Amino acid sequence: MAEKWVFLFEEVEEAEKYVGGDWEGVRSLLGGKGANLAEMTRIGAPVPPGFTVTTEACLAYLSRGEDVAGAVLEQEREAMNRVEELTGKKFGDPQNPLLVSCRSGGKFSMPGMMDTVLNIGLNDETAQGMIALTGNERFVYDLYRRLVQMFGSVVLDLDDELFEHALDALKNRVGAKADTDLTAEHWKELTEEFKQITLSKEGCAFPQDPYEQLKLATEAVFKSWNGKRAIDYRNAAGISHDLGTGVSIQTMIFGNMGWNSGTGVTFTRDPATGERKLYGDYLLNAQGEDVVAGIRNTKPIHELEQDLPEAYKQFQEICDKLEHHYREMQDVEFTIENEKLWMLQTRDGKRTARATVKIAVDMANEGLIDRKEAVKRVKPADVDALMHPMFDPDAKSAAAVEGKLLSKGVNASPGAAVGVAAFDADLAEEWGKAGKDVIMVRPFTKPDDVHGMLASKGILTSEGGATSHAAVVARQFGVPCVCGASEVSIDGAARQFEANGQIIKEGDWVSIDGTTGEVFVGEIPTVAPEFEEQTDLLILLSWADEIRRLQVWANADYPADAERARSYGAQGIGLCRTEHMFFEEVRLPIVQRMILAKNDEDRQSALDELLPMQRSDFEGIFQSMDDLPVIIRLIDPPLHEFLPDHDEVLKTVLTKRIKQETDGLAEAEDLLAAIEGLHESNPMMGLRGVRLSIIMPGLVKMQVRAIFEAACNKAKEGVVVKPEVMIPLAGHVNELKVIQPILEDVANAVMEEKGITVEYKFGTMIEIPRAALTADEIAGIAQFFSFGTNDLTQMTFGYSRDDAEARFLLTYVEQEVLPENPFQSLDQDGVGQLMQIAVEKGRGIRPELEVGICGEHGGDPSSIAFCHKLGLNYVSCSPYRVPIARLAAAQAALK
């Protein structure tokens, strides 16, 4: 025996030794479930005895097959001997039979994605022994038919419907409404029928040998690692395909042994809000899958105190112990067999973004973890989710008054979602990929539905509770979800649902509020959530601020944006785009006059009109950012962007010519000539940015005058202004050598006129590859650098973003030609290499050089981590992403 492939739960120390003492290694080896069962065993929780087949065995089996299966079985037999010792029962012994479950469990939880077989060890003989022991024939044949059914569907890959139909047919025949109406004889009959289904469909008799059952079930779990569901899930969740699953074999405990038995699933804190209280469901006289599938309506966990007070008390204590042990909120499964509590599983609980933040903050305040750990535990995407829109409260009230409220279900995953109803996962996926906003509507969801759930804006089910499949998956992926909306009556065949007397057809608009559980017909407008009211988030971010080195600035063009950014924690404005102001209705005609001016005088007169407008914009921004730096970028885009569309003007000219209308023809022809005169084949790489400033300095001189007039005016009012003038698109140091002194002269002239001096800087964007490559020269002139990673990515890849995204970039990402869209997440290998060159060369010349990033990447967490590593001073992003960036910057510092 070359390798140890099986570890008893009690062998946790051996497993640790086997992997070299590392808990992550134990999780990799045994899978999360197996490792936690072993760990729970170690800390003395009541865990039914069992053992785990390792992920190494799984991977070996998947590559080498039958030989491995045989070797694994040998080790399973040995382990089973110890389980028999511990339980006093014996696997396959007709007198005192041991039954086991066989469950999958990878390193990372993939709920419901892989297979499980229960009640292994039952056969015609041991069933008789069980009956003799329990005196409950009905119970035993229910177990037996379940084993045959799961074996058929999981191991033999038969359609589960075959078994469900047979059950329904029997119920019809005997006039039973529910399973509970069926007698022992019925279950026995059904067990035989299930065996026949197995034999007739697969030509394979249900194996009577318990070890044969165990072997085949183990192999089936191994194989389920590579099932389509599992692969889709891992792709969506970003889990590696190379890990393999562990297989945990565990003594069966029966929650369906009568009304002093039961089973449940519980979170140690509320996974929706994070509140510190047990949150979950249980059913008396039921097996675990009854709870998870959401088929029978469950009872909330606190009612167990009435039903089985002793067990509840012990359960509470164990939950507390587990949380203290794992220092994380736990998601546990338990079963009570004849009033005795057994813990079947524990794992870190999935939760909403809101709960993630609250639990992290609470646990830090409780002393369970430190603040750094709290900051680490919240994902930037969680903060993003908290910045997401919610329904406008007034609009929601109005909708309710208008009778648009259809139902109220379980608020299973928070957030507001609006979309058209789709009644199956495939359609939801198809519509979602086509760009439609979709709400997927199902009675309940199964692992097969995940692809549709991921493509939907929201999920609505009529059945199941807060721990149902739909709820768990939705929370994990941040998709709003309302579960168990029992007034919603779905007619899958007619592809519609009825609720509150209204019929909603496929494609009709629906709005769901995952935070409250409400379901509306129609589209309800959404609003941004109040950042200031999210107390836990504010605390967490204040801790993040203590940790991070990287500053977070914001891109803001208007005073309102700047104010919002500041309220979200921005420490400066990294990019104020002066030309955005030019597009405003009253200004555009003046800008056009400036462009079309036939002489310097006309041009100057237009510029003179623009000056006070720009000045007043800047005054507002300086006011908002009192005592913080504001980087203002001089005009960047090519001038043609401010003129009317060429084809439209051409059309006007041709029409007038052909119809011989002279009225306005000359003007239209002039305009057309001007537009054609400004035409460029690749305007992105043409006359724009600093090039435009050098060819036509009047415009930027006006802008610099406006900046410094505004700065001086505000400074006189006592505002502390810190203007930084940014010259875009420099590629050669000489461009700065030419233009920067001209602009500094303007600045100094204004300060002299105003009789006041303000602190200021002149600097440049680094967005042309050549600027990065020659950053040492550039830094000789520029007092700061700001990476314009949008353009830098365009030039470094040779992609025009608009063209690339429309024509090939999405195909590239889909076909994995590119790992991701480089305009969303910084290409560290290529663009990042240029950034590193620029930082090193720039700081080599000017060690105190202020370097930041103002491209879209400034709000992307992995890009932020890279910027931290590069030693930038700040990232600048859209105001809404400032909180995310604050967290990401802290996490980068903790790495």
Residues that bind a copy of itself (CB under 8 A): 647, 650-651, 654-655, 658-659, 680-687, 691, 694-695, 729, 731-732, 734-735, 738, 767-770, 773-774, 777, 791, 794-800, 802-804, 807-808, 811-812, 815-818, 827, 829-831, 833-834
Q: CA-based Rg of the chain, rounded to a whole angstrom?
A: 34
Residue 721 vs 736, nearer CB to a copy of itself:
736
Residue 673 vs 817, nearer CB to a copy of itself:
817
To the nearest whole angstrom, how small is the minimum distance from the Cβ of residue 240 to a copy of itself?
Answer: 19
For the question of residue 469 being annotated catalytic, the response is yes
Residue 468 vs 796, nearer CB to a copy of itself:
796
Residue 63 vs 815, nearer CB to a copy of itself:
815
Element (H, E) at 787: strand 784-787
To the nearest whole angstrom, how small is the minimum distance from the Cβ of residue 234 to a copy of itself?
Answer: 21
To the nearest whole angstrom, how small is the minimum distance from the Cβ of residue 840 to a copy of itself?
Answer: 13
To the nearest whole angstrom, how small is the minimum distance from the Cβ of residue 631 to a copy of itself?
Answer: 20
Q: How large is the angle between the packed helices 535-547 and 353-366, nearest 10 degrees?
A: 70
| Two structure tokens written together for 298 | 């469950």
Q: How large is the angle between the packed helices 184-202 and 137-150, nearest 10 degrees?
A: 20
CA–CA gap between residue 467 and residue 470 (Å, rounded)? 8
| Two structure tokens written together for 322 | 């587990």
For the question of residue 854 being annotated catalytic, the response is yes
How many CB atoms sit inside 10 A of residue 41's CB? 20
Residue 370 vs 802, nearer CB to a copy of itself:
802
Residue 485 vs 771, nearer CB to a copy of itself:
771
Region of 723 (left: φ > 0; alpha: ψ -120 to 50; beta: rest) is beta
CA–CA gap between residue 78 and residue 91 (Å, rounded)? 12
| Two structure tokens written together for 156 | 């033999």
To the nearest whole angstrom, how small is the minimum distance from the Cβ of residue 594 to a copy of itself?
Answer: 18
CA–CA gap between residue 709 and residue 704 (Å, rounded)? 8
| Two structure tokens written together for 471 | 């709820």
Torsion sign across C-alpha atoms 115, 119, 121, 125:
negative
503-507: which pairs have CB atoms within 8 A and are 24 or more residues apart? Answer: 504/406, 504/421, 505/421, 506/420, 506/421, 506/422, 506/423, 506/427, 507/420, 507/421, 507/422
CA–CA gap between residue 776 and residue 11 (Å, rounded)? 61
CA–CA gap between residue 536 and residue 126 (Å, rounded)? 56
Taking every pair of Cα atoms in the chain, the longest distance, rounded to a whole number of angstroms, is 108
Q: Where are the beta strands (DSSP E) in 410-462?
A: 410-413, 416-422, 438-442, 458-461
Residue 587 vs 646, nearer CB to a copy of itself:
646
Q: Of the residues 58, 483, 712, 854, which is catalytic?
A: 854
CA–CA gap between residue 892 and residue 884 (Å, rounded)? 12
| Two structure tokens written together for 664 | 């306005």
Distance of CA 480 to the CA centre of its chain: 12
How many CB atoms sit inside 10 A of residue 491's CB? 11
DSSP classification of residue 637:
S
Q: Fill in the amino acid letter for 417.
A: A
CA–CA gap between residue 64 and residue 137 (Å, rounded)? 42
Residue 738 vs 845, nearer CB to a copy of itself:
738
Q: Using alpha carbons, select from 18, 717, 46, 640 the residue that is nearest to residue 337.
A: 46
Residue 635 · residue 700 · CB < 8 Å: yes
Residue 526, φ and ψ in degrees, nearest 5: -110, 155
CA–CA gap between residue 668 and residue 869 (Å, rounded)? 55
How many CB atoms sit inside 10 A of residue 756's CB? 15
To the nearest whole angstrom, how small is the minimum distance from the Cβ of residue 576 to a copy of itself?
Answer: 22
To the nearest whole angstrom, how small is the minimum distance from the Cβ of residue 833 to a copy of itself?
Answer: 5
CA–CA gap between residue 363 and residue 389 (Å, rounded)? 27
Torsion sign across C-alpha atoms 148, 150, 153, 157:
negative
To the nearest whole angstrom, how small is the minimum distance from the Cβ of residue 742 to a copy of itself?
Answer: 13
Residue 487 · residue 273 · CB < 8 Å: no
To the nearest whole angstrom, how small is the minimum distance from the Cβ of residue 593 to a copy of itself?
Answer: 21
Q: How large is the angle between the packed helices 588-596 and 600-624, nearest 10 degrees?
A: 140
To the nearest whole angstrom, how small is the minimum distance from the Cβ of residue 687 to a copy of itself?
Answer: 4
CA–CA gap between residue 529 and residue 208 (Å, rounded)? 60
Q: Using alpha carbons, select from 585, 579, 587, 634 the residue that is nearest to residue 610.
A: 587
Residue 135 vs 677, nearer CB to a copy of itself:
677
Q: Using alpha carbons, select from 388, 118, 379 the residue that is nearest to residue 253.
A: 118
Residue 297 vs 734, nearer CB to a copy of itself:
734
To the nearest whole angstrom, how small is the minimum distance from the Cβ of residue 450 to a copy of itself?
Answer: 27
Residue 542 vs 655, nearer CB to a copy of itself:
655
| Two structure tokens written together for 603 | 């041009």
To the nearest whole angstrom, how small is the minimum distance from the Cβ of residue 653 to a copy of itself?
Answer: 9
Q: Are strands 410-413 and 481-483 parallel, antiparallel or unpaired?
A: antiparallel
Residue 827 vs 850, nearer CB to a copy of itself:
827
| Two structure tokens written together for 264 | 């449940």
Residue 538 vs 685, nearer CB to a copy of itself:
685
To the nearest whole angstrom, how small is the minimum distance from the Cβ of residue 118 to a copy of itself?
Answer: 45
Residue 334 bridge partners (DSSP): 264, 343
Q: Of the residues 469, 640, 857, 868, which is catalytic?
A: 469
What positions carry a catalytic annotation? 469, 854
